[in-house]
Structure 1
């Protein structure tokens, strides 16, 4: 009796190495417009640039905090003039104190 041909089955082949070369969205086919609008999805991370940006942003936030603290300290001071005509800085006081 002739043997029936074996049914074709899909063999589980290991994924090709080229599939792992572009992980994430870098391996997906997209339009040039999408890549131009979203470059952070396709550019490899650059540690020196990230470190520079983090330090710069931290210094900017610290400077704004310093300016805020300096303004708060100046808020309670005003320039007073004594009877001899000399001006000096004096803290505001309440008549109730």
Structure 2
């Protein structure tokens, strides 16, 4: 505590203190900064855009794999009496 705080007087807020929003302006320990770097690192829009495109492509690829697997489920390889192989859709005995 400084002598001005012990007298009950507050120091005026400096203009520089207001320009650092969030946790960047708060005094913290080095351990806290090492454990939570995302609170103190400035956002990088280029990296965010690359990450967003990558995540979108991954989700699209998983959706594509799911759709093609669904289509392959109904097909099987059948063999004719003369030995030729062909793909045939599964049918129910109830149809």
What is the rounded CA distance, in whole Å, between the counterparts of 2:33 and 2:56 in structure 1? Answer: 29
CA pair 85-23 structure 1, distance change in 2 beyond 3 A: same
Match of 2:30 among 32, 40, 64: 32
Structure 1 unmatched ranges of 5 or more: 1-9
Partner of 2:60: 62
Within a 5 Å distance, the mapping from 1:17-96 to structure 2 comes to 17-96=15-94
What is the rounded CA distance, in whole Å, between the counterparts of 2:74 and 2:50 in structure 1? Answer: 37
SS for the counterpart of 2:78 is strand
Structure 1 runs (4+) deviating above 6 angstroms are none
Deviations along 1:7-64, whole A, 9 cap, x unmatched? xxx6995x32210232110111111111111111001111010000001000000000
What is the rounded CA distance, in whole Å, between the counterparts of 1:11 and 1:28 in structure 2? Answer: 18
* TM-score, normalised by the number of residues in structure 1: 0.81
Task: Give the superposed CA RMSD.
Answer: 1.8
Of stretches 17-26 and 44-53 in structure 1, the one that deviates more from structure 2 is 17-26
SS for the counterpart of 1:54 is helix
Larger Rg: 1
Which of the pair is proportionally richer in helix?
2
